[in-house]
């Protein structure tokens, strides 16, 4: 039991260490992800927001965090490449 807890803590610390402090503090909930994508995609409307909301639910957490932390469209474009494929 103790070894499982220690192993879990070790994995968690590695995950947190892999993120920047800024990314670790980002709210990566789907509403925030969709809000960020809309803010970096001028001309987007309700159809895009519905599509992004549906896609967000299948995104890996790393991808959601990356999107939420994006400051530019270029940052946003890198998120899919770094996080891996979206689960279907």
Residue 67 counted as domain residue: yes
Higher pLDDT among residues 26 and 38, named by residue: 38
Residue at 3 is within a domain: no
Residue 9 lies inside a defined structural domain of this protein: no
* pLDDT band (50, 70, 90) for residue 38: very high
15 within some domain: no
Helix, strand or coil, per DSSP, at residue 86: coil
In a domain, 5, yes or no: no
Number of domains present in the structure of the chain: 1
Beta-carbon contacts of residue 5 (< 8 Å; ≥ 6 apart): none
Residue 38 and residue 71 in contact, taking contact as beta carbons nearer than 8 Å: no
Nearest in space to 62 (alpha carbons), one of 31, 33, 35 = 33
Mean pLDDT of the chain: 74
N residues, the chain: 88
Report, as an integer, the average pLDDT of 13-26.
49
In a domain, 66, yes or no: yes
Question: How buried is 37 (Cβ within 10 angstroms: 0-12 exposed, 13-18 middle, 19+ buried)?
Answer: buried
Using pLDDT thresholds of 50, 70 and 90, give the confidence band for residue 24: low
Residue ranges making up the domain that contains 26: 21-83
34 within domain boundaries: yes
> Is the whole-model pTM more than 0.75?
no
Q: Are 44 and 38 in contact (CB under 8 A)?
A: yes
């Amino acid at each position: 039991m103790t070894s499982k807890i220690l192993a879990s803590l070790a994995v968690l610390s590695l995950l947190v260490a892999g993120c920047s402090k800024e990314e670790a503090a980002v709210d990566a909930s789907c509403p925030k992800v969709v809000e960020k994508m809309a803010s970096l995609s001028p001309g987007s409307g309700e159809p895009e927001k519905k599509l992004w909301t549906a896609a967000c639910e299948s995104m890996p957490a790393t991808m959601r965090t990356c999107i939420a932390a994006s400051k530019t469209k270029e940052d946003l474009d890198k998120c899919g490449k770094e996080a891996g494929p979206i689960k279907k």
